[in-house]
Copies of this chain bind each other. A is one copy, B any other.
Amino acid sequence: MAGKTVTACLLIIGNEILSGRTQDINLNFLAKALNELGVRMTEARVIPDIEATIVDTVNEVRTKFDHVFTTGGIGPTHDDITAVCIAKAFGTEVMLHPEIEARIRKREATPEIIESRLLMARVPTGATLIDNPTGGPQGFQMGNVYVMAGVPMVMQAMVGALTKERLGGADPVRSRTIGAYLGESQVAKELGILQDKHPDVDIGSYPFYRETGYGTNLVIRGTDEAELDLLKEDLRALIIGMDAEAHDDGI
């Protein structure tokens, strides 16, 4: 696509996603939120709570992408190893962040609970905080790696603290959708021709099978809104030319 692209990779850290216990919804939320900040999610990985895997994966993707976001593993229990892993990936140690520590010590609790909570104050030396306006656990940024919670409500609060400026975001991608009760095979050839004509736009075709019938939604994505509008009219003409009805915003 045209213009500068700022890329991101999401690392979802958690056995509970890989076992099927938990349905991830963070990827979808973050993909949309990052796009509004001008950052494109280009890859995502789900990896287990294993130190060597986390360290190696972080070190691989932080050089391949402009930004890396992680979710999960920042709580106070034995399987919350993300902070330590990020520190290892950057060749440094964890320290207690004074701001988080002060917040934790303000809440009354037994010494044993405070000791456990302080595990959530660990950040790699040199990290800066990602604020959590809800007052829960804090995320942190180390280099181009943004470490966030796995619990969706907490993760979403942290994403709200990120800005286009902080991420050096470019233009967001915009989309147009048009649908028809036509099989993909009926439009496949013409779509390929239109895709060749518009290399800066990404044309996707998504078949569906519903009680109302089977059909296809066509989604065009790009940063140039005028081009999207023109191309959408080409798609409308293609659908109408096949004696089908064109459904704006898809079916």
Q: Report yes or no: B204 in contact with A79, Cβ–Cβ below 8 A.
A: yes
Q: Using C-beta atoms within 8 Å of the partner chain, give the interface range for chain A.
A: 35 or more
Q: Report yes or no: B27 in contact with A17, Cβ–Cβ below 8 A.
A: yes
Neighbouring B residues of A58 by C-beta, 8 Å = none
A27-B17, A43-B46, A191-B78 are known contacts. Are A206 and B117 too (CB-CB below 8 A)? no
Q: Report yes or no: B18 in contact with A75, Cβ–Cβ below 8 A.
A: no
Of A17, A25, A77, A113, the most chain B CB neighbours within 10 A belong to A77
Name which of A28-36, A84-92, A230-238 contacts chain B.
A28-36
Neighbouring B residues of A48 by C-beta, 8 Å = 42-43
Q: Report yes or no: B189 in contact with A112, Cβ–Cβ below 8 A.
A: yes
Judge if A144 is at the interface, Cβ distance under 8 Å: no
Q: Report yes or no: B186 in contact with A75, Cβ–Cβ below 8 A.
A: no
Smallest CB gap from A22: residue in B? B206
Judge if A203 is at the interface, Cβ distance under 8 Å: yes
Bound CA span A204–B77, Å: 9
Neighbouring B residues of A185 by C-beta, 8 Å = 76, 109, 113, 116-117, 120
- How close is A145's CB to chain B, nearest CB, in angstroms? 18
A204-B79, A205-B77 are known contacts. Are A20 and B28 too (CB-CB below 8 A)? yes
Neighbouring B residues of A154 by C-beta, 8 Å = 209
Instruction: Pick the contact of A186: B28, B113, B119, B219 (CB < 8 A).
Output: B113
Smallest CB gap from A79: residue in B? B204
- 18 A-B pairs within 8 Å (CB atoms) are namely A15-B221, A17-B27, A18-B31, A18-B40, A18-B43, A19-B31, A19-B175, A20-B29, A21-B204, A22-B206, A43-B53, A49-B204, A76-B184, A77-B192, A112-B189, A113-B185, A115-B189, A117-B185
**5 closest Cβ pairs, A-B complex:** A20-B31, A20-B32, A116-B188, A116-B185, A78-B192
Beyond A17-B44, A19-B173, A77-B192: 13 further Cβ-contacts under 8 Å?
Answer: A17-B27, A20-B31, A20-B41, A21-B175, A24-B27, A42-B48, A44-B45, A45-B45, A78-B195, A113-B183, A116-B185, A151-B207, A154-B209
